[in-house]
């Protein structure tokens, strides 16, 4: 019967789609967030931190490609507050804040925010349900100067995190131009904007997938629909070949220079009032950026950028890394998008009924960090603490005093707190921590008023290269007076 | 019928119990987290970041005083993963990590973590359902040297955040001593540890409420039970007066010195084997801390500390701020607890079946920050950016260029991006941003190659003090060559 009494143990696992970050992974991300935040701050943006939890109604439903209930969010019924949910981005909470504090905030309100967001998506390899974003938005500025500023700031932020000029490009487009094209193609009627809304949604998502599906895949989605490799069928927008041709022409409208691209867009969408307005805005953005020195080596007009989210109303932007990395199978591939954003003039209006212009950008911090790691451009501090070993359990206070002295001198240090019986385990521990120096004092050393210092970094180099004679002479171990501990350790660290 | 067509608008509100943090509130908390993390790091602790979401079974049920379903956590049913929940502390996720990666982590594993945690409690004034914790824990060290280290580190962390010695005290107790007292009082039978478990739970929570309920309230909870002011009845442990007397005696066992307190505890609980062990551990902790110079001005043995959480098994600690602040009604009160922790040797065992000793502390960052603010000890940078005003909408690129130059020189700066028509609004905006300097260039100034600088900080001081004549002479406004913009602004900021 003993078997029946054995308690059932919980599984020690994160839920699928979630993961843990250890040591340097945490500090490297923090350093990156700090760098980006400093750029945003320098541009006049103020920090804002909203809570992870919002009401479902405040968040709204704007996620693309939702294969889950609750429109892709993690949601639950609260006893007092109705349905609550984890935020899926940092933009929806900003819209709520802009509405809630509209009398108190400066106009325009520039804010930055950083933190995790959650998506209730089907977990898959490399697809996480919690990830970091680092956003900057300007609420209350209708001028495209605000959009241009966001694009310039995005370029600055990428460069300061370690992506050199030439390794990235910020692509800019305008939803209004796309709407103009839709009008020309006959799937947008300015007199009845709700008509064809479903078709336009499919067109939008299809264009957003150009990278992944290629031209034929997109054309299938614009027409009857598309069956993917797994046999799943995605319904198409039902456009005729002629209509689809107009849309495909828009996506291919990029020319050698911004001016030529603008001219081509004017040909395609200039017949529509909204399309013409969009082209005009793109032209202004390009002029403003040019005047500030952000030329096409950094920021380009590219009609293939549309962004999947449903709430954009004007300029949209996307930052793409242009270098190749090796994927998990060793094949070279473009790294792709690490940031995106755009103008969303109607999000605040949802709450207040009054139009409030807004524009902003979101940097996908985890992807950007992965890119920098892939290029070997992250210099994480992986050196562990100095480890004070324990030779004599009864003199723990002496060992603690050594660690305390080292710390007071600004040196990261700790006493070994495992079972001290096996000294080899203590050195193995120091190795595992990547400790640069081990401090050793047995009864003999204590009596003589000295400590032994083991230079573990040097020891590792010697072990890799040295002859047996060199090894035996133990150059990596030295004896110093107890009173000189801090200075001696500092010398070893300096030379490490 | 127009009324019916009006869309229902979402409320622009955080759910009750959640709040937003703006500007300096965010940067001050970040600075505090950075300071505490630096202390933890210096002690050899490594950062760890787990996700906000865990399985309900991994979190376990350890929250005290649960007045909500799901044992005080926010939980929901996931399509793939069963019940998921937001973490309610950083300790339960650590136990899961220690079990999941037990083959890979160093032993002992020292880690720190910071971030929000969530409690599904009834929202009330000043009671938030999301708040920050900043924890440090050592997993795999059974020695009380690990507990002593945590206490010393906690004292260091508090001092580095700005709480001077004398304004806080770290109180230390031991659950084993309490268990010894329970044994003496007849509510713990070492041969049958499950017996009286319910009574012991009530005793524990009653002691934890001594501050709030006073001696009579606790005595009522130890006996038949207690009716609070609202008429809610809390069931008691059902102890006899004699049994309750033993427990009350334990809580009052603190003496003038640590040695005397230890002696008194030995009288009370020494007859129990577990009680004796606990007293011995307290004595060792006090000795280790004394040897490192952490005397009773910083760390004291105090039997009234028990901590509400159910998972502690040995030493427990609590940091209390000892100064008085004024409450919302202007009455002086002790600020109280800002950090707590202890040893929890069974949390990892839940997963693995193997005992893994662990101890740690959690600092309630939001409370600590509130305390520092109440004492006027937070020096937040509330100065806004330099604002470049817009006199001529067509020269936006020129204004952007000025802001860019200032930023390249490391000066926080922005162009006014609201509607530039009304110049007064631009200056009001600069005031609201707490901007130190406004930059002004109309067509006339542009033609002459100059800019006007308005020293807003000086202007505010003059407005408060100056005579009419001084005011008219406009000492707060100066004209400088356009090429000298950066230097001139730097001079103004230096003198501000």
Q: Which tens digit of pLDDT belongs to each residue from B253-310?
A: 999 888 899 999 999 998 999 999 999 999 999 999 998 899 999 999 999 888 876 7
A233 pLDDT exceeds 50?
A: yes
Alpha-carbon Rg for chain A, nearest whole angstrom, is 29
The whole-number average pLDDT for the span A332-353 is 90
Give residue B472's pLDDT band: very low, low, confident or very high (50, 70, 90): low
B-chain CB neighbours of A412 within 8 Å are 41-44
Average pLDDT over residues B109-137: 91
DSSP secondary structure letter of residue A15: P
Please give the ipTM for the structure prediction: 0.90
Rounded Cα–Cα distance for residues B259 and B283 (Å): 8
What span, in angstroms and rounded, lies between the C-alpha atoms of B286 and B302? Answer: 11
- Give yes or no for residue A81 having a pLDDT over 90: no
pLDDT of A169 > 80? The answer is: yes
Averaged confidence pLDDT in chain B? 90
Specify the DSSP element, H or E, that contains A78.
strand A75-78
pLDDT at A335: 83
A14 touches chain B (CB under 8 A): yes
**Concatenated DSSP letters for A262-315?**
HHHHHHHHTTSHHHHHHHHHHHHHHHHHHHTT--TTTEEE-TT---S-TT--SE
Structure tokens at B100: 């999941």
Mean pLDDT across B463-474: 65
Q: The pTM is what?
A: 0.91
d(CA A466, CA A72): 58
What does the pLDDT look like over A90-107, one tens digit per residue?
Answer: 999 999 999 999 999 999
A258-269 helix and A241-251 helix, angle to the nearest 10 degrees: 160
> Which residue has 């945590």 as its token pair?
B150
pLDDT category of residue A496 using cuts at 50, 70 and 90 = very low
Out of A257-271, B367-381, B464-478, the most confident range is: A257-271
B44–A414 C-beta distance less than 8 A? yes
Q: Residue B227 has what pLDDT?
A: 87
pLDDT surpassing 50 at residue B1: no
> Is A141 in Cβ contact with B412 (below 8 Å)?
no
**Looking at A346-489, which runs of residues are DSSP E strands?**
358-364, 386-388, 413-415, 437-440, 450-455, 477-481
Average pLDDT over residues A160-188: 93
The CA-atom distances, in angstroms, between B457 and each of A5, A108, A479, B83, B465 are 74, 21, 60, 55, 13
- Size of chain B in residues: 496
| B364 φ/ψ angles, rounded to the nearest 5 degrees | -80, 95
Measure Cα distances from B217 to A415, B120, B181, B303 in Å: 44, 26, 20, 18
Q: Per the CB < 8 Å rule, is B55 touching A11?
A: yes
Subunit contact A429:B107, Cβ cutoff 8 A: yes
Range in A56-65, A409-418, B71-80 the model is least confident about: A56-65
Chain A residues lying within 8 Å of B404, measured CB to CB? 152, 292-293
- What percent of chain A is modeled with pLDDT above 90? 68
Mean pLDDT of chain A: 90
pLDDT in tens, A475-487: 788 999 999 999 9
- In the block, which residue shows the tokens 């009288």? B267
Contacts of B146 in chain A (CB under 8 A): 417
Radius of gyration of chain B (CA): 29
| pLDDT of the residue at B67 | 46
Residue A471 in this model has a pLDDT that exceeds 80: no
Q: Based on the number of CB atoms within 10 Å of its own CB, is B68 exposed (0-12), middle (13-18) or buried (19 or more)?
A: middle
What confidence score (pLDDT) does residue A228 get?
84
Q: Phi/psi zone of residue A444: left (φ > 0), alpha (ψ -120 to 50 degrees), beta?
A: alpha
Q: Which of A22, A86, A140 sits opposite B48 (nearest CB)?
A: A22
Question: How far is the alpha carbon of A487 from chain B, nearest alpha carbon, in Å?
Answer: 17
Work out the pLDDT band at A71, boundaries 50, 70, 90. Answer: low
Check CB contact under 8 Å for A429 and B352: no
- Is B496 a residue whose pLDDT tops 60? no
Position B70 scores a pLDDT of 62
pLDDT at A1: 41
Q: Does the distance separating the beta carbons of B351 and A55 come in below 8 Å?
A: no
CA angle at residue A138 from A136 to A142, to 5 degrees?
145
Instruction: Please give the residue of chain A at the shortest CA–CA distance from B285.
Output: A397
| Of residues A97, A107, A400, nearest to B292 (C-beta) | A400
Which tens digit of pLDDT belongs to each residue from B333-371? 888 899 999 999 989 999 999 999 999 999 999 999 989
Q: Out of A477-491, B198-212, B460-474, which region has the weakest mean confidence (pLDDT)?
A: B460-474
Proportion of chain A above pLDDT 70, given as a percent: 93
pLDDT band at B331 (very low <50, low <70, confident <90, very high): confident
């Amino acid at each position: 019967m003993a078997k029946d009494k054995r308690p059932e143990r919980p599984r020690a696992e994160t839920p699928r789609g979630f993961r843990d970050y250890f040591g340097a992974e945490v500090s490297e991300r923090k350093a990156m967030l700090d760098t980006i935040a400093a750029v945003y701050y320098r541009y006049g943006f103020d920090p804002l931190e909203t809570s992870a939890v919002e009401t479902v109604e405040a968040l709204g439903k704007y996620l693309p490609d939702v294969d889950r209930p609750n429109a892709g969010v993690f949601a639950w019924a609260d006893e007092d507050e109705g349905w609550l949910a984890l935020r899926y981005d940092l933009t929806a909470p900003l819209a709520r804040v802009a509405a809630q504090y509209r009398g108190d905030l400066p106009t325009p309100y520039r804010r930055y925010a950083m933190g995790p967001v959650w998506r209730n998506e089907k977990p898959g390899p490399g697809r996480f349900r919690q990830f970091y974003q680092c956003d900057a938005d300007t609420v209350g500025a209708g001028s495209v100067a605000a959009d241009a500023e966001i694009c310039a700031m995005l370029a600055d932020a990428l460069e300061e995190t370690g992506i050199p000029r030439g390794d990235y490009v910020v692509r800019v487009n305008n939803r209004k131009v796309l709407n103009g094209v839709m009008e020309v193609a006959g799937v947008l009627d300015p007199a009845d904007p709700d008509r064809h809304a479903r078709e336009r949604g499919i067109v939008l998502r299809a264009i957003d997938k150009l990278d992944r599906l290629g031209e034929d895949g997109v054309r299938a989605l614009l027409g009857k629909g598309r069956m993917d490799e797994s046999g799943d069928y995605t319904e198409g927008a039902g456009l005729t070949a002629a209509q689809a041709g107009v849309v495909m022409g828009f996506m291919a409208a990029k020319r050698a220079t911004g001016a030529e691209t603008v001219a081509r867009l004017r040909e395609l969408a200039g017949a529509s009032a909204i399309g013409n307005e969009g082209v005009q805005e793109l032209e202004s953005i390009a002029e403003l950026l040019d005047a500030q020195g952000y030329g096409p080596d950094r920021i380009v007009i590219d009609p293939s950028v549309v962004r999947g989210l449903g709430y954009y109303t004007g300029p949209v932007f996307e930052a793409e890394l242009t270098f190749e990395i090796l994927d998990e199978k060793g094949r070279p591939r473009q790294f792709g998008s690490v940031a995106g954003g755009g103008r969303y003039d109607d999000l605040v209006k949802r709450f207040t009924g009054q139009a409030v212009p807004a524009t902003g950008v979101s940097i996908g911090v985890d992807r950007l960090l992965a890119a920098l790691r892939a290029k070997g451009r992250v210099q994480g501090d992986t050196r562990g603490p100095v480890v004070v070993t324990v030779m004599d359990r009864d003199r723990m206070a002496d060992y603690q005093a050594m660690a305390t002295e080292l710390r007071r001198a600004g040196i990261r240090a700790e006493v070994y707190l495992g079972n001290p019986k096996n000294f080899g385990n203590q050195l193995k521990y120091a190795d595992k921590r990547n400790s640069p120096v081990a401090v050793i004092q047995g009864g003999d050393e204590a009596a003589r008023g000295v400590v032994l210092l083991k230079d573990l970094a040097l020891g590792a180099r010697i072990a890799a290269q040295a002859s047996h004679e060199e090894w035996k002479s133990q150059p990596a171990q030295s004896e110093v007076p107890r009173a000189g501990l801090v200075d001696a350790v500092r010398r070893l660290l300096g030379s490490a």
